[in-house]
Every structure is written in structure tokens, then in C-alpha cells.
Amino acid sequence: MAIEKIFKDDASEEKGERARMASFVGAIAITDLVKTTLGPKGMDKILQSTGRGHGVTVTNDGATILKSLHIDNPAAKVLIDISKVQDDEVGDGTTSVVVLAGELLREAEKLVATKIHPMTIISGYRMAAECARNALLQRVVDNKENAEKFMSDLMKIAMTTLSSKILSQDKVHFAQLAVDAVMRLKGSTNLEAIQIIKKPGGSLRDSFLDEGFILDKKIGLGQPKRIENAKILVANTAMDTDKVKIYGARVRVDSMSKVAEIEGAEKEKMREKVQKIIAHGINCFVNRQLIYNFPEELFADAGILAIEHADFDGIERLALVTGGEIASTFDNPESVKLGHCKLIEEIMIGEDKLIHFSGVEMGQACTIVLRGSSHHVLDEAERSLHDALCVLSQTVNDTRVLLGGGWPEMVMAKEVDELARKTPGKKSHAIEAFSRALVAIPTIIADNAGLDSADLVTQLRAAHHKEGCNAGIDVISGSVGDMAELGISESFKVKQAVLLSATEAAEMILRVDEIITCAPRKREDRM
């Protein structure tokens, strides 16, 4: 008896071997796409959009590359997802996590071909991941008691993070900027207080850190250019209602004097609103919307600095930083929370005038001004710096630090290998495969630098058989070097997130034995 078809005509399903094949191929293709960006000598990718204006992004940040891809393969989407989560959670290691997951699947593919059940592979991977994590935990360094050593740890981590990015040429300068900015946060991981402003012109080296807040606006005509002990009212209200603005409104009058009366009434209404605002006892008024000439004139007469059309990001952050709240009605001055700062003045950066708020209520606020030759360079510099800030703010909370440069992977691989020798049964094949996948990361770092990876990785493995060894790949000299001397450090939190996310993602893709694609919805003919 023939079984009736369950699915619609256009729906497709792939079972067993074919489904697994599709998952592996998709995941490995994504890995091969981003693995050339790994390490200090990783290359960049140009992403060109097909939308209006054909925007171009030049980047080597794994999450940015993967976010921009439109992909049909379900397994590849899982990898894109873990790199996004890694970016949101710890900021760095977005490429490593995809590469590790891809390598785990590449190894799993060989094991499945030798008729080992996916569940056996998964339980082997689980044991190996636990073992690898414990190996790292035994080797972490924690300097939170010693402030000076901890600062140097942070500098090293920042420099290591930046060395694979566009900022690697000036990494000492930018690492110092990032560490200063994060230390101002005093342990909070809220990066909202650090504002990054990008201004084309100058070189990357001209970037600087400024305490306080900078608003990308000019001060209007005839208004005070400098205000001390400012009381700031941050508002989101229409200040352009000295015109009738009711859509489709028609006013019929029988003489010109009536028109003048209407205009007079509108002006009076506006004047009342401005009086209410001035009654708050402020000397700076920042509005999200436009301020027309008439109210601006009234503010100037009252000696109040009025800033119009501040962008929404800017106004929210300004309210946060000065300790005020965004107001939209002005009838009860006592219930409105004003913002405060010591000094407001106009500054010049390059050709542009900006407004600088210093001595703000929220002491940890600061602004990093990035300079660079073009928008593409600035965008990539911002992404790189954001990665460094994320990693540092996480490290301030979780102060455990590891060495970098392929050292953690070799430490983990050595422990996992020993576990494989002790474990009986088919699981030991999976555990061994996990160790091979870990070694793939130093191999790729060496390959990207154009070094002989086979030779280097075997030298590394031999070096790691000595107790307390600090060997890793020194990409600059092209040999095995001492990571502690070279000052290459990474945050434990980042490494742990890479290890656990990659294992879970590989596990999820391995469990798949059938892919069902739904039939597309047909459009009904409306004719």
C-alpha cells in the first residue's frame, strides 16, 4: 500500500545521510569563509550591499561579516547566530567561535563516515569540553588584588584584541584609550556612558579621549557660547508651532487684520510655552525637535543656550550622563528632573564645531573622538575599539586572565588528549577529534601569517609537554615564542565563551537527521 504524500507539492525534505551532509557542508563553508580573518595577520573582507548607494564595508570582524550574509543553509544560520551572541556577550572571539564549531563538525563528519553514532560523538565532545575548561581553570592568573599588575593585564588584553584589527599599528595608543575609558566606568559593563564620535580628517593617531560628553551640534546665533554651572532641560517637544499645522485645516477670514490676529495668537501661545520653559530656572535647553526663529530669539534674550534637533541617541545619552530626564510637558516645574554639568562650551574638532559638556553628573562618562582618513576606516576603527571596550569591561568584572597566541588551545588539547587515552569505547575517538579541532586554531593563525603551520604546531606540542610552559605562536618573528614575555594575554571569559558556544552549536547541528523545507506561500490572485 503506497503512503500518501504528507507535505504540499513545493515542500522538500532531506533525510538521514543527505540532511547531515547538507548541514556539514553549510557549516564548513561558513568556517572557510571567515577563517582567513583569524589572528594578527588575518585579512579583511569587503562587503558590498546591493541596496541603494551600494554601501561598502571593509572589516575583519567575524560577527559583522556573518551578519551581512543572506544565507539559506540552516546549519550555517546556527553558526551566524553563535557569532552574534558572542559579539553581544563578550565582544571578541566572534571568528574563533565559528572556526572552532566548524572544525568540530569537520572532525565529526569523518567520525560519522566510520559509522560512529552522532550521539556517541556528542557525549565524547561533552566530556572533552568539560575537561578543556578545567584545564584552563587550573592555568588562569588572577591579579585583582594587585592594581598595578591588573592594569598591565588590561593593557595586554587590549593590545592583543586590537592586534588583529585595523588599529594594530597604533595599538599602544588605542589600548591606553580603551583602558582609561573602561576604568572610568568603575566596574559597570554599561558601555552607554562611553560615547564614540567619528570625525573624518587627520590620522587614526590623532584620536583622543575626552572626559564629559560631546554633542555633535553647533551653538545658535546670538546665544552664549560658554555657560558655567549649567542647568540643562532635556526635552522632546514641538517648538515650531507658531504656524497653523493642522493637516488640511482651512481658515477663512474676511480681512487681513484677522490674519494678523491669528498670527498674533499663535505667537502668544509660543511665548507662553517659552515662558514656562524659562520658569524652570535653566540656562541650557536641548530639544529633540526643531526650534523656530521666534522661540530661539526669546531664548537668546533670556540668555539661555538653546540646542535644536539633537539626534535621539545623543539626547538619550545626554539625559543619562547629566542626570536629567527627557521632558515633554512643562506645567509642573517641580516634577521635572534637570541635568547638571559644570561647563558647556563650543570646541573645534578638525573643521567642525561641537558642543562640549564637562564636569557632568555621571562621573564615569567620557567621549572617544576617532579621527581617520575616510568613513570606512572610521567605521572599522569603531568596531575594533568597541570589541576592545567590551572585552575590557568584562575582564574588570571577571578578572581571570590567560595567555594568548594559541597557548590556551594547546593547553586544552594536551589535557583532552590525555582524557582520550584514559576513556574506553568509541567515545575516545570523539574526544581525540575534539583535541584535533582545538589544534586547528593555532594552525590557522600560523597559516594566515604565511608560516609553515605543520612545523610550528608540532614544535608547540613538543614544548607543551614540559610543565608550566608558556609557548605560543609568535606571528611577528614566525617562530614559537614565550607568550608571557611577549605580553600576549586574553580574557578567560572570552575563551570560555568560545569553547562552550562552539561545542553547543556543533552538538546541535550533529543531532540533525532531517531537514524539512516548507512550501512557499502562494499569493492569491486578487483579480
Give catalytic status of residue 94 as yes or no: yes
**Cell numbers standing for residue 521:** 506561500
- Residue 30 is placed in which grid cell? 561558513
Residue 434, φ and ψ in degrees, nearest 5: -60, -40
Provide the sign of the torsion angle of the four alpha carbons 97, 102, 105, 110, taken in this order.
Answer: negative
Q: How far apart are alpha carbons 478 and 474 in whole angstroms? A: 6
Distance CA 275, CA 268 (A): 10
In angstroms, the CA 312 to CA 391 distance is: 27
Alpha helices, DSSP H, located in 423-518? 427-448, 453-463, 483-486, 492-510
Residue with cell 522632546: 236
Catalytic residue among 61, 242, 447, 474: 61
CB atoms within 10 A of CB 259: 11
Do the beta carbons of residue 515 and residue 415 sit within 8 Å?
A: no
- From CA 492, how far away is CA 402, in angstroms rounded? 6
Q: Which of 37, 57, 64, 94 is catalytic?
A: 94
- In the set 153, 379, 387, 417, the catalytic residue is 387
- For residue 148, give the C-alpha cell: 598595578
| Angstrom distance (rounded) from CA 282 to CA 285 | 7
d(CA 274, CA 272): 5
Helices and strands, number each (H, E), in the chain: 16, 19
Please report the sign of the dihedral spanned by the C-alpha atoms of residue 273, residue 279, residue 283, residue 286.
Answer: negative
What single-letter amino acid sits at 496?
Q
216 is catalytic: no
387 is catalytic: yes
Distances (CA, A) of 66 to 94, 172, 212: 10, 29, 35
Cβ atoms of 164 and 380 within 8 Å: the answer is no
Residue 403 contacts residue 472 (beta carbons within 8 Å): yes
Which residue is associated with the grid cell 534674550? 301
C-alpha cell of 305?
Answer: 543656550
CA pair distance 27, 98, nearest whole angstrom: 9
37, 57, 59, 95: the catalytic one is 95
CA torsion, points 67, 72, 74, 78, in degrees to nearest 10?
Answer: -10
Provide the annotated active-site residues: 61, 94-95, 387
